[in-house]
A = this chain, B = another copy of it.
């Protein structure tokens, strides 16, 4: 169950969000705040999984409230919602520690899946903004070569690409049957791959392989 706090200064807007969220059987609205100060206080008290945060609010605005919530060390994730997808709002909001930035005219399903994503630690950005973020930052992305060089661990050298993939999903905790179904393989094939990965990496079982995957930063 995902618990949500709604922070918006417009009562009608809050009502809309509450109706949408309460219609989902995996979400609960813990409360509503009508300004940033109240949002900060209620978050500390109610410890929701996610705060739906409006940017424009009287007194303490959503950006500053986000900053304070994150600074408090709470495990609550902040998803910023605004009418305007202005870059200034987005950049400062994300820099403040928000896990996401969506525009209010998004489809309800997009909002819901966004809430679920940030609740599990992922992040979401409105497509219109993603475009601009990519344009601005794509040139700073590491190349495939440097990404490969990022794992110079000799323990992984002998693995083929496929085996490295297998090791990655082992590290994610997938079972053999899960790997088989999700990768469209027979379980026997998965076992063959896994066996080779274990042999090549000197791991006695998949648990050692999970640890190896973490040590080599293949996962997380």
Contact = CB atoms under 8 A, between A and B. Distances in A.
Interface of A: 10, 12-13, 63, 70-71, 73-78, 83-84, 86-88, 91-92, 94-100, 105, 107, 109-110, 113-114, 117-118, 121-128, 130-131, 133-134, 137-145, 147-148, 150-151, 153-154, 165, 168-169, 171-173, 175, 182-184, 205-208, 210-211, 214-215, 220
A134 B123 contact: yes
Contact of A94 (B92, B114, B134, B207): B134
Contacts of A168: 84, 86
Contacts of A220: 214-215
Contacts of A148: 73-75, 88
A15 to B, nearest CB: 13
Among A98, A131, A183, the most chain B Cβ lie within 10 Å of the Cβ of A131
A169 B85 CA distance: 11
Contacts of A95: 138-139, 141, 143-144
Contacts of A123: 127, 130-131, 133-134
A122 B113 contact: no
Contacts of A121: 131, 145
Nearest to A99: B144
Contacts of A100: 130
A96 B141 contact: yes
